[in-house]
Structure 1
Amino acid sequence: SAWTMPYAFNLPFAELEGRDYNDDLLGNKVEGLPEFPTGEVLGGESDYAYVFEWDEYYAPRAVNRLLDAGVRVKVASKPFTGVTADGTHKFDYGTILVPLGPQSVDRDKIHALVQRAADSDGLTVYSVGTGLTPSGIDLGSGSFEDLEKPSIALLSGEGASSYEVGEVWHLLDQRFDMPPTLFPMDRVERADLDRYNVMVMVNGNYDELSERATEKIKRWTQEGGTLITTKYANNWAEQNDLANIEYVNGEEESEEEKQVTPKSYADMSKARGAQYIGGTIFNTKLDLTHPLGYGYNDEDLTVFRNSTLFLEKAENPYATPLYYTDNPLASGYVSDENLEKLSGTAAIVVSDVGSGRVISMTDNPNFRAFWFGTNKLFMNAIFFGQTIDGGSGN
């Protein structure tokens, strides 16, 4: 399994060859645990709105806290330049807007909540005094979309990977204070799914879901739910007509290649092992304008993969917001055959299902709770899946 720290944390870096190294490049020695960074509310208390960017890791925690308090929160689907108390500032896709009217929560409480976002979540919050902007969308534009508070059902129990269920639970409960409801599969057909707007199915075999439970999930999705499936959970979604995805089968063999050459039985285990992807890092391209790309500043993103599930890009050109590059290997081992299969394929495909959507991820974005670099993809699916335009799904 490959291990490259800056890839795992999505950090910009450059390789330094030995002859270019000198001690002057070293910073101060780190002593003890570093302090959590604190942000600030620039401009103090506002009488119009607050805005903050989505690129900070704990921005989802701040937004969830606001929504949980009943505050109306919006997300920008287009960039703009805002006039803030700290001067003009360029805001990108995914910027969060907290308007002060109309709201059911009083302004003092909203200010206290955005101050907490700065203090506890490390966010820089901008106080804004006008909805008019020098360029881009105005703050009253319909390109700001209302967000719903995520209510998350996480399928668990026999068939679902306990490791990956635990990784999702840890991410949501321990890091973002958003505890999901864990659903054993045999409880789905008796559960009230209308209480939830997001469902997560991690890697696993979901054949144990009853026909009634399957129909219930399909109806829930069609009525507006966001279903997130990772790795082999995609098989279940595809087989039950929820995900419009196609698998990569590889190139048709020539007649010469079809000729079987006898091999030593002793080599069989080694040959099979060579086709296994035990943990390899690959290069992908991310659409930064897509809701699943909000908060990222670079279209080049490295992902961790430990499966041989390969998906074709969607026929709809807007339905594959993340895909593998033509030369995807960044670090680790992969066979030539699997590298060829993977090149240029989809890493995420979005499917329209009635009023809802299914977000199919070929990989685990929350691997072992240390692959921080792709956590935002998962959180974007949770918060912004509801905002993905219906015409952009496969």
Structure 2
Amino acid sequence: MNRFLLCTTLFISTLLTAQNIKSPSEFLGYELGTEFTRHYEVVDYYEYLAKVAKDRVQLTEYGQTNERRPLLLAYVSSAANISNLETIREEHLKSTEGSGNASKAIVWLSYNVHGNESVSTEASMQTIYELLTSKSSYLENTVVIMDPCINPDGRDRYSNWYNQYKNTPHQIDPNSKEHHEGWWSGRSNHYMFDLNRDWAWLTQAESQQRIKFYNKWMPHVHVDFHEQGVNNPYYFAPAAEPYHEVITNFQRDFQVTIGKNHAKYFDANGWFYFTKEIFDLFYPSYGDTYPTYNGAIGMTYEQGGSGRAGLGITTRIGDTLTLKDRIAHHHTTGLSTVEVAANNAGKLNTEFKKFYQRKNYKYKSYVLNGDSDKINALAKLLSHHEIEFGKGNNGTVKGFNYKTKTSGSLKMNENSLVVSTNQKKGTMVKVLFEPNAKLSDSLTYDITAWSLPYAYGLDAIASTTEISKTKFEPTSAQNSNLNKDTYAYVTDWNSMEDARFLGNLLKKGIKVRTSYSPFTLEGKSFKRGSLIITKADNQNHKDFIGTLQKVLQENSSIHLTSVETGFVDSGKDFGSSSVQMIKPSKVAVLSGAPTSTLRFGEIWHFFEQQLHYPVTILDTDYFKNVDLDNYDALILPGGWYGDFFNEDQLKKLKEWVSNGGNLIAMGGAIKAIDGEKGFSIKMKKVEKDSTDTNPMPHENWQRERVKNAITGAIFKVKVDNTHPLAYGYDQEYFTLKLGNDAYDYLENGNAVYLESNTKPVSGFAGSDAQKKIGKSLVFGVESYGSGNVIYMVDNPLFRGFWENGKLFFANALFMLN
């Protein structure tokens, strides 16, 4: 067949294919970009394509959201590749083991992780359509994996809101209602979590289900499609500094290659764009960094618009930005990405295999000791990421000590966890475990510290030698049949497993006491906060032993010690006033403006998905009409309260606390009730340096500003573990500080606090910020009448991943009766 005839045949074939497949506009019944497509309609279109082009599209439902919407992956490639898809996958994964002869480029395109950044899902439909028609040549040596909507719950929340409130026809005036979402925007998922910051921590159902399939494919290229402010032009790679030091030269260079290809198309259309600004590659839990640390070319693309833009809006310079414009831009970069990958399939495969060669990282092993529940929790996270780990052998390991930040040693035992960088996921291990990530630029987009030993509250050594290990088995308690004649059962209070156990007991009507003093009994020592379950307290429970046995089955890591007497060897007897009944707390949390959606969501998720304990949500719209006497505890999430609490509401709040209520004020909520307005806590004041009077050049203002910033840094703080708010903790704690808000010590009740040394152990804190936070409160309790005000300056529930902070929150609920 001559060249002309071949080209003609291919053209006719492509034309016939295009005629057989409906475009998104034809299928949906409206022109793409003139309406927001609801998620079920998007699913319908992808299912349609999988039916009419079943030789080139394979559709998989990889999970469901909290609101039961399907999560989909579409595999798109040539007919030959789709028929051989599993073989291609297996051959590709051999590259991570240093073998195989993979030849196909694997490109993963992720759309709509933020629900109200809704254009990308619309663009995905046009992109897959053209990959199957006019751009099908890209697929001969490329497999494209498309996730049309990572966050269906958030997307439908936005699209339904917009369809309800938009003008007809739509109004481009930025002041119109359709450009102003309410408090609960479509950005987050069901629990108001930001899914784009959950790739590493896997706290959310969407992330947990997606990572299983990501690990099955480990693509060469991953793109996360986003939107930014209305007045911003388009952003694409290469990314801004700081780049994490593990990112390879090839990964850096290929971002430039892709960016230049995008620029070619944008220049031809006269579209504006920017690169190398704002969006860096450092924090490991993004949709660009997480894939990068797993060998991919991970990139964020940002289109101007987001939830404000609607179907069209007037920008600052008087232009009209339409949904059609936004679709065109994301559609262009999506196709451009696949084009570059297709043209560089050989290079991508070669460099991907190189990425997985053994690397000579300084630390070869990380060894961790601590409470078995915390070890098990970390092991569970590592398993989700398919990171290999093992159990330590008896012996001593030397290296960098996380607690002292100096050389030290650690005695290993049968419960020690050992994680080596000499494994397939070795780079990810380094990033997640390194004591202090190297920061090339202090101007960053997110937090600068996250090291897992600090986050999980474990003793750790980073060793320059590889430590041998054996198979790890999660520890679980073995509780034999409980004796109904036992005087009492006692268990420790050290972890979230203990908090879940307590919450479960209280929900089932079993009475539990706690000891405010350490004690020894029958040869065993128990710390403050230990739980005591007596037969006498539960004699009226219709099935005390049976219920307790059932709760133990549901909380398998709990070990109960049965004791035959309440007469202790040392400490306070069980009848002492130092051994108090834990009251089943009826808890409410404030929601709605002025609380932060993210901060509220962390609390909501904590109760329903972590603690498994009931919580009532009170909205600010009707909060003033709520009888607070119905609740034992009220949580004020972080936010921007301003004058939300007027004089009458503050009076009501103070009366409720005085009558026995526990008020938990977090982050920004503290400012709403501080010493000038309600309670005694006072913002720390720092005198400005009067000698620093020289004017600052305008170009330096950002760098000057970071002197007063803390971008998610870890600090070692002191703990008064004799205080009920700090039961279960040692005398030191590592807190993740997210800003420079600082409060003076309380007169009493300083459970956790910073001393004068404020140099972070990990992450960035500006010099002025460090001065400000010296000798300041972290967590504390003010007694007020018969109740308490619990202040949480730092956020122990941040993004759901700071595991070691969560027991403070449980203490605030249960230990401050």
Q: TM-score, normalised by structure 1?
A: 0.87
Structure 1 residue 269 and structure 2 residue 702: aligned? Answer: yes
The equivalences for 1:122-137 within 5 A come to: 122-137=557-572
Residue equivalent to 1:148 = 583
Q: Which residue does the alignment assign to 1:80?
A: 519
Q: Secondary structure at the match of 2:754?
A: strand
Deviation at 1:337, TM superposition (A): 1.5
Partner of 1:113: 547
Alignment-mate amino acid for residue 756 of structure 2? D
* Partner AA of 1:301 in structure 2: Y
Q: Select which of 71, 88, 93 maps to 2:528.
A: 93
| Counterpart for residue 319 of structure 1 | 749
Displacement after TM superposition at 1:129 (Å): 1.0
In structure 2, do the counterparts of structure 1 residues 226 and 350 end up closer, same or farther at CA, with 3 Å as the change threshold?
A: same
Question: In the alignment, what sits opposite 1:390?
Answer: none
More helix by share: 2
| Paired amino acid for 2:545 | H
Take 1:143 and 1:64, find their aligned partners in 2: how far apart are those partners?
A: 21
Give yes or no for the alignment of 1:27 onto 2:469: yes
Mapping of 1:306-345 within 5 angstroms? 306-314=738-746, 316=747, 318-328=748-758, 329-345=760-776
**Distance verdict in 2 for CA 1:119–1:43, change over 3 Å:** closer
Q: Find the partner of 2:790 among 336, 359, 379.
A: 359
State whether residues 38 and 119 of structure 1, in contact with CA within 8 Å, keep that contact through their aligned partners in structure 2.
no
Alpha-carbon distance in structure 2 between the residues aligned to 1:43 and 1:291: 32
After the TM superposition, which residues 187-226 of structure 1 pair with which residues of structure 2 at under 5 Å, given as runs? 187-206=622-641, 207-209=643-645, 211-226=647-662
Tell me, which stretches of 5 or more residues in structure 1 are unaligned? 387-394
1:304 is the counterpart of 2:736: yes
Residue 380, structure 1, aligned to residue 811, structure 2: yes
Match 1:234 to one of 670, 674, 678 = 670
Equivalent position of 2:681 in the other structure: 245
Deviation at 1:277, TM superposition (A): 1.6
Measured after TM superposition, the shift of residue 330 of structure 1 is 1.2
> How far does residue 214 in structure 1 lie from its aligned partner after superposition?
3.3
- State the Cα distance separating 1:132 from its structure 2 match: 1.3
Query: After superposition, what is the alpha-carbon deviation per residue over 1:40-82, rounded to whole angstroms, capped at 9, x for unaligned?
Result: 3368324211111111322122222222222221110001111
1:104, distance to aligned residue in structure 2 (A): 5.1
Alignment partner of 1:41 is 2:479: yes
Alignment of 1:60 onto 2:495? no
Q: Per-residue deviation at 1:383?
A: 0.7
Partners of 2:695 and 2:626 in 1: CA distance:
55
Deviation per CA, 1:279-300: give whole Å up to 9, x if none: 111111111111011112x211
What percentage of aligned pairs have identical amino acids? 29
Question: 1:295 & 1:327 partners in 2: Cα distance?
Answer: 24
Contact 2:707 2:768 in 1 (8 A): no
* CA shift in 2, pair 1:194/1:240, >3 Å: farther
Is the Cα contact below 8 Å between 1:57 and 1:376 reproduced in 2?
Answer: yes
Partner of 2:458: 11
Residue by residue over 1:347-376, the C-alpha shift from the partner in whole angstroms, topping out at 9 and shown as x without a partner, is 123212221110111111100000011111
Deviations 1:336-355 (A, max 9, x none): 11112222221123212221
Quote the Cα distance in structure 2 between the aligned partners of 1:221 and 1:131.
Answer: 34
C-alpha displacement of 1:213? 3.5
CA contact (8 A) 1:347 1:362 kept: yes
Q: Which residue of 2 aligns with 1:279?
A: 712
Task: After superposing the two structures, state which structure 1 stretch, 64-73 or 363-372, moved more.
Answer: 64-73
Corresponding pairs, count: 366
Counterpart AA for 1:67: L
Partner secondary structure for residue 136 of structure 1:
coil
Residue identity matched to 2:524: H
Deviations 1:136-178 (A, max 9, x none): 1112222101111011110010110110111111111111111
Deviations 1:306-333 (CA, angstroms, capped at 9, x unpaired):
121111112x2x4211111333311000
d(CA) in 2 for partners of 1:135 and 1:49? 17
Q: Secondary structure at the match of 1:325?
A: coil
One-letter code aligned to 1:243: F
1:333 partner SS: coil
Could you tell me which runs of 5 or more consecutive residues in structure 2 were left unpaired when the two chains were aligned: 1-446
Cα 1:186–1:95 change in 2 (3 A) is same
- CA gap 1:325/1:239 in 2 versus in 1, 3 angstroms: closer
Equivalent residue number for residue 596 of structure 2: 161
Distance 1:165 1:138, change over 3 A: same
1:92: how far off? Answer: 0.7
Q: Distance in 2 between matches of 1:38 and 1:112?
A: 20
Q: Distance in 1 between matches of 2:581 and 2:451?
A: 38
- CA RMSD across the alignment: 2.1
- Give per-residue Cα distances to partners, 1:103-142, cap 9 Å, x unaligned: 35437x3223333443332111111111112221112222
CA contact (8 A) 1:51 1:95 kept: yes
Q: Tell me the equivalent position of 1:392.
A: none
What residue identity is the alignment partner of 2:590? Answer: L
Question: Which whole-Å CA distance do the structure 2 matches of 1:209 and 1:40 have between them?
Answer: 51
1:170 and 1:73 mapped to 2: Cα distance?
25
Instruction: Give the whole-Å Cα distance in 1 for the aligned partners of 2:749 and 2:480.
Output: 37
Residue pair 2:725, 2:816 contacting (<8 A) in 1 also? yes
Change (3 A) 1:248 1:208: closer
- What do the CA deviations read for 1:80-101 (whole angstroms, capped 9, x no partner)? 1112xxxx21011001111111
Q: Secondary structure at the match of 2:756?
A: strand
SS of corresponding position for 2:565: coil
1:14-33 CA-to-partner distances (Å, cap 9, x unmatched) read 232x3xx03xx132467xxx
Residues 117, 243 of structure 1: alpha-carbon distance in 2 compared, 3 angstrom cutoff? farther
| CA distance in 1: counterparts of 2:780 and 2:518, whole angstroms | 24
In the alignment, the residues of structure 2 paired with residue 326 and residue 40 of structure 1 have an alpha-carbon distance, to the nearest angstrom, of 46
Contact 1:7–1:302 (8 Å) recurs in 2: yes
Letter in 2 for 1:194: D
String of CA shifts for 1:255-274, please: whole Å, max 9, x gaps: xx15x112211111221234
For residue 389 of structure 1, what is the aligned residue in structure 2?
A: none
**CA pair 71-199 structure 1, distance change in 2 beyond 3 A:** same
- Give the secondary structure class of the aligned counterpart of 2:499: helix
- Which amino acid is the alignment partner of residue 244 of structure 1? S
Match of 1:391 in 2: none
Whether contact under 8 Å (1:290, 1:321) holds in the other structure is yes
Greater alpha carbon shift after TM alignment, 234-243 vs 133-142: 234-243
- 3-state SS of the aligned residue for 2:469? coil
Q: Structure 2 CA distance, aligned partners of 1:249 and 1:102? A: 49
Q: Distance in 2 between matches of 1:192 and 1:65?
A: 27
Contact 1:165 1:202 in 2 (8 A): yes
